[in-house]
Structure 1
Amino acid sequence: MAKGLDWATDSRDWPNRAHSRFVEAATTRWHVQRAGKGEHVLLLHGTGASTHSWAGLLPLLAARFDTLAVDLPGHGFTQSLRRLDSSLPGMVRALKALLTQESFRPSLIIGHSAGAAIAVRLAPELDPRPRGTVSINGALKPFGGPAALIAPVMAKALAINPFVSRALARGGRDPSRVARLIEGTGSRPGANYLEFYGRLFANPRHVAGTLSMMANWDVSGVMAPFERASLRLHQIVGLNDRAVPPEDAEALARRYNGASLERMPGLGHLAHEEDAARVAASIFSAFASAELPARKSGT
């Protein structure tokens, strides 16, 4: 198995490192960051990212909430102790074990991209159920057209070959290549974020975990249990997003009465990395009231 990130050396300047610790739950050794007091808020990053993605947002949320950020299984410093189940149900099971271990009962779950899909799949299974969920450029729809078949097959073929993750990781050592990859999402986060993405992309185990998640990903029907539970979904959408079409969030807001939407011109797929204060203000505003909107009849 490829060597993972080394905490002693790779975490030396990791964002919010003072709030980091490791927790063993079920078959996973989790890297988590927890800060603040108040209602519980859970942060779930997207595919290929880590807790570093919340560098700016976590301190803002921790000023009001008891906030928990995690490296998802196969990502960052989190290590699966057995064979990784990186499917959407597998991620949900792993997170439920962690939340039970930590006695953490989130009132709000915030997910970015694929993390938003995990959030809406997780929320209906929790007791008590969260007040709501926040999707930041959420990847809540399957790929359309031929990509629906080709993308997972390609990712699976790459994931099962250990030499591929090592080869891709070598490319992660090139800062210009990392910058092009991130800018391809429509975002321009600060140089500090690019430094940490480069560190992640240069690690074969992180790359393998990312490929495994892509290969096993299926979000078809992910909203159905969420809608039946009448949970609230606040969508934050960077209008420059080139990874997930902003129109997907628009369509969901029209269909589901429990979904609110805030458009953010000038921001891309990594909106929370580009302007954490703006994203935090949107979250605070959306959940200032405990009253949740009713679900449309017939949904």
Structure 2
Amino acid sequence: MDFDRMPPDWPFRERARRVASRPHDWCLIDEGAGPALLLLHGAGGSGHSFRHLIPLLAPRYRVIVPDLPGQGFTRSGARSRYGIDAMAEDLVTLCTTLDIAPLAAIGHSAGAALALRLTDFMPLDGVAGINAALGVFDGAAGVMFPILARVLAVTPFIPHVVARLWGNPATVAKLLTATGSPLDAEGQAQYLTLVRDAAHVDGTLGMMAQWRLDDLMTRLPEIVTPTLLVASGGDLAVPARISREAAARMPAADYAEIPRHGHLVHEEAAQEVAALLLPWLAARAGG
């Protein structure tokens, strides 16, 4: 999706900017002042998903929200770098280009796994995960889903087919409802914009095809970076037990659960998420 085609009413459009940092041409939101925070969206989303959380963090922090490579409005310079390690390396390069040393990384879903992986590549005072996608598919799905994603990612015209077949309001509404987060009309329209774009679909499929969490999951007990894992009780995509069990394996992790809302809790109930994040961030920043 080309930056020039960003809809005029896209969240934080006026604060979005291009940053060339090899190998990608990043689109990111840069808002606020103070210690830097890096916000990382999940697979199939974009930085827009933090639209309600950014205003709650920006009064105290400089909030950097990139679209991940190939997704949203970031133009990928290397389709082979959609895996978790390559993305972590490229995010470190982006931070160097921006001349920032983030205080913490906050990730949603797969972005939470990416934030945790960053602890091996750069110093962070904290990592927060929102409905962190740290589990694996059970049974045959654990084998077949990655294989199917790899096949789709390298099949010509598949992104265009997916964008055409799924890029309608009814399908997007069903997809969001299946996560436990139906969202309002505005939120649904924003995801419809993403689903209708073949380049975004291609980047999402590429990420799914290259995503491997085995090493990260093995290393969870070795991650000593202070971590907060926030889950929501109504998440139908990544059950709350995933974050609860991951936190139990980590020596410096705290777990918090919001009893309602679905996978996109930071879009449905940003105030509740911020109420957990802000005191935790203040502790990382020394009060």
- Per the alignment, residue 110 of structure 2 pairs with 114
Task: Name the stretch that deviates more: 25-34 or 5-14.
Answer: 5-14
- Per the alignment, residue 174 of structure 1 pairs with 168
If the length of structure 2 is used for normalisation, what is the TM-score? 0.95
Q: Counterparts of 1:55-74 in structure 2 under 5 Å?
A: 55-74=51-70
The structure 2 residue matched to 1:152, chosen from 129, 146, 156, is: 146
State whether residues 44 and 116 of structure 1, in contact with CA within 8 Å, keep that contact through their aligned partners in structure 2: yes
Distance of aligned partners of 1:133 and 1:271 in 2 relative to their CA distance in 1, 3 Å threshold: same
- Per the alignment, residue 214 of structure 2 pairs with 220
1:36 partnered with 2:45: no
C-alpha displacement of 1:26: 1.0
The structure 2 residue matched to 1:124, chosen from 120, 137, 145, is: 120
- Per the alignment, residue 280 of structure 2 pairs with 286
C-alpha displacement of 1:290: 3.6
3-state SS, counterpart of residue 79 of structure 1:
coil
- Per the alignment, residue 205 of structure 2 pairs with 211
Task: Name the stretch that deviates more: 106-115 or 9-18.
Answer: 9-18
3-state SS, counterpart of residue 222 of structure 1:
helix
Unaligned stretches of 5+ in structure 1? 293-299
- Per the alignment, residue 19 of structure 1 pairs with 15
If the length of structure 1 is used for normalisation, what is the TM-score? 0.91
User: CA-to-partner distance for each residue in 1:86-119, whole Å, 9 max, x for gaps?
Assistant: 1111111111111110011111100000001100
- Per the alignment, residue 84 of structure 2 pairs with 88
- Per the alignment, residue 194 of structure 1 pairs with 188
Task: Name the stretch that deviates more: 217-226 or 76-85.
Answer: 217-226
Q: In the aligned structure 1, how far is the partner of 2:125 from the partner of 2:215? A: 21
State whether residues 222 and 251 of structure 2, in contact with CA within 8 Å, keep that contact through their aligned partners in structure 1: no
Q: In the aligned structure 2, how far is the partner of 1:285 from the partner of 1:104? A: 22
Q: In the aligned structure 2, how far is the partner of 1:256 from the partner of 1:280? A: 23
1:263 partnered with 2:257: yes
Q: In the aligned structure 2, how far is the partner of 1:63 from the partner of 1:226? A: 32
Q: In the aligned structure 2, how far is the partner of 1:11 from the partner of 1:232? A: 38
1:99 partnered with 2:99: no
The number of aligned residues is 286
State whether residues 142 and 218 of structure 1, in contact with CA within 8 Å, keep that contact through their aligned partners in structure 2: no
C-alpha displacement of 1:143: 2.3
- Match of 1:173, as an amino acid? G
The structure 1 residue matched to 2:234, chosen from 227, 240, 251, is: 240
